[in-house]
Structures are given as C-alpha cells and as structure tokens.
Amino acid sequence: MFKLTLVLAVIAGLACATPSRPTGDEYRAELVKAGLSTPAIDGILKISGDAYTEFSTKYGKCPNFQDAIENVTRLILNLEKFMKTQTKEDQEKYMAYVEEKKKEFDN
C-alpha cells in the first residue's frame, strides 16, 4: 500500500506542475534512465495523463479532499494493474524506480 502511495505522490507532483517537479518529458527521461521499456513508459504516461485530464476536467483547481483521495487511489490501482501486464523485467525496474523515489521523498 505504501508503494501505491509513493506512486501517487510522484504522479500528483506531475499534476501540480510547479517548477521543482519534473515535466512530462523529464518524467519520461527518469523512466528511460530507470531502464523501463518504451511500451511500459508509454503506458505509465498514458494512464497518468488520462488521470490528470479527467481530474482537472471534473474538479478544476479546487477539488475536495474525498474526490482527490478517490481519484488518486484509482490512479494508483490503474498503474498497478497496468504494471502487472508488463514484463517481469519492467516490473522489477519500475519497483526499483519507486524505491529510489521513496528515498528522495524521505529526504
């Protein structure tokens, strides 16, 4: 569950688009550097982008807490479900990427 929360935090960071957070291209570059395959990266970015678009369209800039939690949970579950369809190698590399992100957020 904590891993899901971390993935959510990464995606939420992208959605907020503040200068200290990675852009879509920077996020893609991080995933490439982590060694994920192009299909895995494309899927992660599509799921994330779709979630961002849906959330922005439905709730704008001021969502309530329950809506935010519900949508973040859905995003995490969709990412987990997608990653289970990817190769074992991509799954392992993605989990290593998530672990590295955990360390960054801990600091």
Delimit the domains of the chain by residue range: 2-96
pTM score, two decimals? 0.75
Q: What is the pLDDT of residues 15-62, one digit of tens each?
A: 554 456 778 889 999 999 999 999 999 999 999 999 989 888 888 878
Q: Which residue has the tokens 């995606």?
A: 11
Q: Is 86 within 8 Å of 40 (Cβ atoms)? A: yes
89: which 2 tokens? 């190698």
Long-range contacts of 19-28 (CB under 8 A, 24+ apart): 24/49
* Nearest by Cα to 86 from 51, 35, 49, 52: 35
Question: Distance between CA atoms of 102 and 1, rounded to whole angstroms?
Answer: 13
